[in-house]
Amino acid sequence: MSIITVATSTYDDQRPGTSGLRKKVVVFQQPHYLENFVQAIFNSIETCQGQTLVVGGDGRYYNRQAIQTIIRMAAANGFAKLIIGQGGILSTPAVSCVIRKYQTIGGIVLSASHNPGGPDEDFGIKFNGSNGGPATEKVTEAIFATTKSLEHYLSCDSADVDLDTIGSTQVLNTEISIIDPVSDYADLMEELFDFEKMRSLLSNRRFKMCFDAMHAVTGPYAIEILEKRLGAPEGTVMNGVPSENFGGGHPDPNLVHAHELVERMNGTEPLAFGAASDGDGDRNMVLGSGFYINPCDSLALLLDNAHLVPAYKEGVAGVARSMPTGRAVDRVAAALEIPCYETPTGWKFFGNLMDAGKITLCGEESFGTGSSHVREKDGLWAVLFWLNIVAERNQPARTIVREHWSKYGRDYFSRHDYENVDSAKASEMIEQLRTKLSTMAGQQVGDLTVESADDYHYIDPIDGSESAKQGIRILFTDGSRIVMRLSGTGTSGATLRVYFDRYEGDPFHVSHDPQKALADLIIAADQLAGISAFTGRQKPDVIT
């Protein structure tokens, strides 16, 4: 076999978003499209020669083919070793775990996260750095710049590698190591949590739970940890076998797409605890018996109860949340007298704070929570954290939440998603709203009065880097808030996300339906931005 230099022409649509490059499968199947982006990654890191790279994905359609391409290119570019999950499988948090454990130069994650999979659906690729976290904006900009000037890429004429057999083989001078995708991650979880206490909980016949893996990558991890290591009954994990098209479903763990789990939690004989994770295993949804636990509340509760978990019993350095995330965690941080940071949406912004030792826990409203054990959000970790708390407190999850509200008050929060909106119309709406921000203070909208409005601008406290236009914020004199931004995680059209939050400190008024508690803010958002007029929608596609 020999190295091949392949002439190529550039594509102009390869700018990575908040979670790498995501497109339809047919886009990645264009001649040289995937290869161009992979070569741009290799050209943008310090050096490939003699380095070790982790490669894995969520098992969606095109995952295996992409890995074979990456193997040939990595060998041609001089990597000494590739570590690849068996079957091409590695959850996103597991990639981070493996990068950190084996101290590699980084890893390539093949996933479009919570987006649908299949021949006509979505695929994605991103690079994680040596800390295990998503590449910084500096690196992603360098990758994009390289894609615009690339003239050739390197590959070789090797045969396909057997991805299903654990062991090592050789391509050119590169060792290809196929590893058990679950064991390193499962071992780490056993170090963090009190497995003995959780094993006692899950062996109690009165405590029945369900974990919905949504036919996605977390299935093997959940089966190994929940059923095999913690002794939960067989069948506790539903939809546990990864599928190239996620069983024909939408692998997003929310109240709409995880409907089978939601029905079981709200049926005539509801389970005590339920949870779900997404396509690549980095998101989570947790449910009590007949009770939805908002991700913003979940982060606050994890922080408030962190002392009950072995890994965090000595204290938490600080906490961070994404700007659109509800401010419940801020109140807990203030009570604990620890720093609380606000960052733009995107997990990479938490990485600098973690690497500098400023924070231990972090999270965002889009069903993502995590800690400094890896540099990615981690869905199964969050579920285990909850189970550890439930076991220690010997209380149902819903009771734990209600007691939290009685102590701290409740931050009502909701996100409204308008999916696949015409991109030009969505951008026009946001740009038009931006022109009004400087004159919005004092404006009356129903019974609400605008206190201030801006476009969030972030200066990283560690390296001083700046990120502009990270979301429009409208704050009202009663402390409530509306945030609007266009998401970078879709592959067609635009997704408009509108966030609402309001604090209620009276413990006698903290059990209302969030949509009712936020009704005036929902009306105000439409009046201020013209959402229905620009989108042509009378209601959002998804409410969480």
Strands 237-238 and 209-212: parallel
**What DSSP state is assigned to residue 136?**
P
Q: Could you confirm whether 113 is annotated as catalytic?
A: yes
User: What strands, in cross-sheet order, belong to the sheet with 167-171?
Assistant: 21-24, 122-128, 106-110, 52-57, 81-89, 174-179, 167-171
Token pair in block for residue 7:
């002439």
Residue with tokens 């972030």: 458
DSSP state of 308: G
Q: Which long-range contacts link 335-341 to residues 24+ away (Cβ below 8 Å)?
A: 335/304, 335/408, 336/303, 336/304, 341/461
- Which two three-digit tokens encode residue 443? 């404006």
CA atoms within 13 A on the CB side of 113: 25
Query: Residue 421 pairs with which residues in a beta bridge?
Result: 494
Q: Which tokens hold the place of 302?
A: 């994890």
Rounded to whole angstroms, the Cα distance separating 237 from 225 reads 10
Could you tell me the two tokens for 488? Answer: 């970078």
Q: Which of 113, 243, 371, 372 is catalytic?
A: 113
Instruction: For residue 286, count CB atoms less than 10 angstroms from its CB and return exposed for 0-12, middle for 13-18, buried for 19 or more.
Output: buried
Any alpha helices (H) in 485-535, and if so which ranges? 514-517, 519-529, 531-535
């808030």: which residue's tokens? 481
**Of the candidates 417, 401, 398, 418, the residue with the CA atom closest to the CA atom of residue 409:** 401
Burial of 533 (0-12, 13-18, 19+ CB in 10 A): exposed
What is the spatial distance between Cα 267 and Cα 279, in angstroms, rounded to a whole number?
26
How far apart, in whole angstroms, are the C-alpha atoms of residue 76 and residue 70? 10
Report which of 168, 180, 152 is spatially closest to residue 73, judged by C-alpha positions: 152
Active site residues: 113
